[in-house]
Amino acid sequence: MPSRVERGTYSARSRAVALFVIFAVVLGGGGTPNPTTEVLLQLVFVIFACTWLWLPAREPARPGAARDRLAIALALVLLVLPALQLIPLPPSVWTALPGRANEVAALALIGEQDSWRPISMSPSRTIASFLAIVPAAFSLYAVSRLGLIERRLVLAAIAGMALISSLVGAAQLVARGSGFNLYSQYSVGWITGFQANRNSTADVLLIGLLALAAIAAPYLAGNRKTFHFNLDRRMFSVLVGALGLLLLVATLMTGSRAGILLVIAATGAALAIVMTERGQSAARGKRWLIVPIAFVLLTALAIYFVTNSGNTALGRSVSRFSDVENSRSQVWEDTRYAIAQFWPVGVGLGGFVPALLAAERLEVLDPLAPNRAHNEYLELGLEAGILGYFFALVAVFVCLTMVWRTWRDEPASRSQLVFGSTVLLLIALHSVVDYPLRSMAIACLAGVAGGMLARPPATAG
């Protein structure tokens, strides 16, 4: 008699993870200028974590498949860095750290120069960063404990929220900035959905596209037993293609230049997900090639049409490429200078703003204070120094090891593996010119993607 997993049902834990993903997308996109919703998300996370730990775990489908311990290691890697930066050090140690002369002089005025201090020069900011990382790390761990079919429910939540975000964004364009926005500060005149930043919105939409492909891949490959409907494959292909085009057009209308450039990579990855699943199917007919070929052609046609039409929002999106400002390069130069002042230790996670304000050149000052480096790798170097780069390399190594082991041992989960790998790669590419992981929404989605790299404890179905 087939188990409940094989009949395509979902455990209470998988429902809890999917529900938390929905809350993360809705509440986690405010960023530093909008902290209220992030605090609400952290409260929701406490409820979710307690509920998830209380709910019974489903028994693995085979011996020795209880958990992928590399996923636990990856989650811990994310949490160790801020924890180390908060450990109080004796005065003989912290006063010798580079860039601490002004701090020592200021504390000497109140007789506190001999007090114990952590590596972080802004402990409250580092604590806030740590609290923002915890939900993402736990999301990674929770998804790694879900079975193959259960993870599809989480993918459905991601794809569904991306589609809803695109519809909310359309309403925002119609309202012309006078409604349908969650935050007091946001990108006016562009699709932002549940995010305050249009770049984060582009990431959510592209991740949703990949999740949609991962959900549809088994059905397009002929595996219908895990779905609760029976739709003609060609009709299903048309439906998935239409929803995918909606997400791609919405991405163009965010006005995010990086997001628009990543459309090509995301579209190729979505097709790779479908083809990977098809490669696991027993039926290897050639007619299935019509689906990806048609999708590519329709995507190219849609992009050409919308960028050459009279649509104002789309026209402005394309025109942004001819107006490349040099403000980011100026921030990058100031950040590199600040890194040199505090190398190799850094100022502590969350301490970018006060460190950069002290290093900013007078000739490039403008009325807006820089809140980010717009390059995650530079910002990590300023905040965490050589230790930050070391932990980043460790995280990459663990991820690659998980990818290799899962690809080798779990062929049935390869489409989900490609989803997780591609999401992390897109975020890594976007991080060259922005700061996607500083959004709790994107960080939690990255955590979900990291969990997808782990070998599922149950592969039935």
From 2-11, 78-87, 167-176, the region with the lowest mean pLDDT: 2-11
- Token pair for 403: 């990818």
Question: Which position has the higher pLDDT, 383 or 1?
Answer: 383
pLDDT score for 66: 44
pLDDT score for 118: 92
Q: Does the pLDDT of residue 297 top 60, yes or no?
A: no
- Taking the CA of residue 297 as centre, how many other CA atoms within 13 Å lie in the half-sphere pointing to its CB? 6
Q: Which residue has the tokens 């190799």?
A: 344
pLDDT score for 4: 38
Render pLDDT for 175-215 as a digit per residue (tens, 0 to 9). 776 667 777 766 667 788 888 888 889 999 999 999 998 88
Measured torsion, CA atoms of residues 242, 244, 246, 250, in degrees rounded to the nearest 10: -170
Average pLDDT over residues 357-367: 68
Contact 147, 413 (CB under 8 A): no
Dist CA 208 CA 201 (whole Å):
10
pLDDT band for position 326 (cuts 50, 70, 90): low
Burial category of 339 from C-beta neighbours within 10 Å (exposed 0-12, middle 13-18, buried 19 and up): buried
Contact 447, 138 (CB under 8 A): yes
Q: Which residue has the tokens 């409260």?
A: 43
Asked whether the CA dihedral 140, 144, 146, 148 is positive or negative, the reply is positive
pLDDT score for 1: 34
Contact 188, 173 (CB under 8 A): no
Render pLDDT for 128-165 as a digit per residue (tens, 0 to 9). 999 999 999 999 999 998 888 889 999 999 999 999 99
pLDDT band for position 26 (cuts 50, 70, 90): very high
* 271: CB partners within 8 A, 6+ apart: 213, 292, 295, 296
Dist CA 188 CA 211 (whole Å):
27
Nearest by Cα to 247 from 266, 233, 232, 261: 266
From 81-90, 283-292, 361-370, 409-418, the region with the lowest mean pLDDT: 283-292
pLDDT score for 67: 52
- Token pair for 222: 């002929």
Beta bridge partner(s), residue 89: 117
Average pLDDT, the chain: 80
Render pLDDT for 251-292 as a digit per residue (tens, 0 to 9). 888 888 888 888 888 888 888 888 776 655 444 445 455 555
List the domain boundaries for the chain.
12-59+66-452
Dist CA 360 CA 69 (whole Å):
44
pLDDT band for position 105 (cuts 50, 70, 90): confident
Measured torsion, CA atoms of residues 168, 171, 177, 182, in degrees rounded to the nearest 10: -30
Alpha carbon 336 to its chain's center: 25
Is the link from the previous residue into 292 a cis peptide, with omega within 30 of 0?
no
Average pLDDT over residues 119-136: 92
pLDDT score for 2: 36
Beta bridge partner(s), residue 117: 89
Q: Does the pLDDT of residue 443 top 90, yes or no?
A: yes
Residues 246-268 as b/e (b if ≥16 CB within 10 A, e otherwise) read bbbbbbbbbbbbbbbebbeebbe
Q: What is the 3-state secondary structure (H, E, C) of the chain?
A: CCCCCCCCCCCHHHHHHHHHHHHHHHHCCCCCCCHHHHHHHHHHHHHHHHHHHHCCCCCCCCCCCCCCHHHHHHHHHHHHHHHHHCCCECHHHHCCCCCCHHHHHHHHCCCCCCCCECCCCCHHHHHHHHHHHHHHHHHHHHHHCCCHHHHHHHHHHHHHHHHHHHHHHHHHHHHCCCCCCCCCCCCCCCCCCCCCCHHHHHHHHHHHHHHHHHHHHHHHCCCCCCCCCCCCHHHHHHHHHHHHHHHHHHHHCCCCHHHHHHHHHHHHHHHHHHHHHHHCCCCCCCHHHHHHHHHHHHHHHHHHHHHCCCCHHHHHHHHHHHCCCCHHHHHHHHHHHHHHHHCCCCCCCCCHHHHHHHHCCHHHCCCCCCCCCCCHHHHHHHHHHHHHHHHHHHHHHHHHHHHHHHHHHCHHHHHHHHHHHHHHHHHHHHCCCCCHHHCHHHHHHHHHHHHHCCCCCCCCC
Q: Does the pLDDT of residue 51 top 50, yes or no?
A: yes
Dist CA 50 CA 100 (whole Å):
40
Contact 97, 329 (CB under 8 A): no
Average pLDDT over residues 36-58: 87
Query: What is the biggest distance separating any 2 CA atoms in the chain, rounded to whole angstroms?
Result: 79
Dist CA 453 CA 112 (whole Å):
48
pLDDT band for position 58 (cuts 50, 70, 90): low
pLDDT band for position 293 (cuts 50, 70, 90): low
Average pLDDT over residues 288-301: 55
